[in-house]
Amino acid sequence: MTNDLLGRHRAVLPDWLALYYEDPIEITHGEGRHVWDAQGNRYLDFFGGILTTMTAHALPEVTKAVSEQAGRIIHSSTLYLNRPMIELAERIAQLSGIPNARVFFTTSGTEANDTALLLATAYRRSNTILAMRNSYHGRSFSSVGITGNRGWSPTSLSPLQTLYVHGGVRTRGPYASLGDADFIAACVEDLVDLLGHTRAPAALIAEPIQGVGGFTSPPDGLYAAFREVLHERGILWIADEVQTGWGRTGEHFWGWQAHGQNGPPDIMTFAKGIGNGMSIGGVVARSEIMNCLDSNSISTFGGTQITMAAGLANLNYLLEHDLQGNSRRVGGMLIERLRSAAAQVPAVREVRGRGLMIGIEITRPGTDEADPKAAAAVLEAAREGGLLIGKGGGHNTSSLRVAPPLSLNVAEAGEGAAILENALRSIQ
């Protein structure tokens, strides 16, 4: 049956639509932190549909909210007043930390970043964008144009002029040998030099922790130092929180707060986890930026009632059960367990991350050379052991990504770590 489904997939869907595993699986249902495939195999889910199942699979509070809303009305567009959309926007505006914030809902992180770019370029009257090397911001024409990761950038054509800044990857590149303070100073100096050679950009867009890039990040405070330089020149800061938001990093509710010494971003984008599987994305911006567009605009599917009902229920559950605190506690234990195991595996170059957002970089032992085959082998071995993880990275996809639902408990973290330890040992 799976082979038949795979053949049908290949017959009608694009060749570039990636599937995990040599023998791809069909996930049929899930509960809590577990999912099942069509053959009845149960897996501990440490990837959550690419960081999207944020709280739990089949969370009763979310499924109840969706069912009840579906029984009333599913959709009406933004042309009509929408109570769930207004209520969720009020909550997000308050949580964002952005003063006088306005919220616009989209259907994905790609569309959210697309909207942020539209706002920034219109507000600043400039189509020049600063982006980070090794970054990823989506698959639309404009977001591909600012993606600093060759493996996820299928075209060099773009409506934007993009200039790439150094600093998103702490342990690679020309400044890797420096201490944190000197690393930040060197990256700021590079930014200032870059700005001296170009017309004033509209904005810098940056992921506080690079998701597709392999969960890499700069030292805390880098973007605060960047913001000081940008603010002096009127350049906006867009924080891409599509993967880092809602408490996943444990220490902060938003990733930007590790760099918030000079205030919040001017624009923030979000998506993925807030819907717990429902299609929600969005943009938060200061009112003068959000309101700068001088033409009509609506959204057909952004903010539809059924997705907003899911988002409200999911956000309430996350806050009431302190899933940010759980991410800090359980994630801290998990990352230390994985670092201890990785110390015995020469192919593991680094275990990094914070909270329940952990990256494991695989290289050829004794070198910094990526080993995508070994990383793929770990992915396969983990699946054989009953664990689903992800992969990414800017160096030929050689990083494993671990990002379970934020309700992960200590026993499940230990179970997943044991499976992953065995999978890592299998490549020696």
The confidence score (pLDDT) of residue 428 equals: 83
pLDDT of residue 56: 98
pLDDT at 151: 82
Residue 103 pLDDT: 98
pTM score: 0.96
Our measurement of the distance from residue 98's CA atom to the centroid of its chain's CA atoms, rounded to an integer in Å, reads: 20
* 351-355 own/partner pairs: CB under 8 Å, 24+ apart: 352/170, 352/171, 352/215, 352/216, 352/217, 353/209, 353/215, 353/217, 353/402, 354/209, 354/217, 354/249, 354/250, 354/251, 355/247, 355/248, 355/249, 355/250, 355/251, 355/324, 355/327, 355/328, 355/331
pLDDT tens, 139-156? Answer: 998 998 998 888 888 888
Q: What is the 3-state secondary structure (H, E, C) of 304-336?
A: CHHHHHHHHHHHHHHHHCCHHHHHHHHHHHHHH
Is 346 in contact with 366 (CB distance < 8 Å)? yes
Q: Which pLDDT does position 174 carry in this prediction?
A: 93
For residue 395, what pLDDT is reported? 63
First to last CA, the chain: 34
Strands 357-362 and 348-354, by their bridges, are antiparallel
List the chain domain ranges: 2-59+322-425, 63-320
Q: What is the C-alpha to C-alpha distance for residues 153 and 155, in angstroms, rounded to an integer?
A: 6
pLDDT at site 415: 98
Q: What is the CA radius of gyration of the chain?
A: 21
Determine the pLDDT at residue 88: 98
The domain covering 2-59+322-425 belongs, at the CATH homologous superfamily level, to Aspartate Aminotransferase, domain 1 (3.90.1150.10)
CA–CA dist 374, 348 (Å, integer): 10
**Length of the chain, please?**
428
Q: Which residues have C-beta within 8 Å of that of residue 261, sequence separation ≥ 6?
A: 221, 224
Q: Which of 152, 287, 157 is CA-nearest to residue 207?
A: 152
Distance CA 121, CA 160 (A): 9
- Is the domain spanning 63-320 CATH 3.40.640.10? The answer is yes
pLDDT of residue 154: 87
Under DSSP, the state recorded for 200 is P
CA–CA separation, 265 and 128 (whole Å): 18
Q: Give CA–CA dist 322/406, Å, rounded.
A: 9
Judged on CB neighbours under 10 Å (0-12, 13-18, 19+), 312 is buried
pLDDT < 50: residue spans in the chain: none
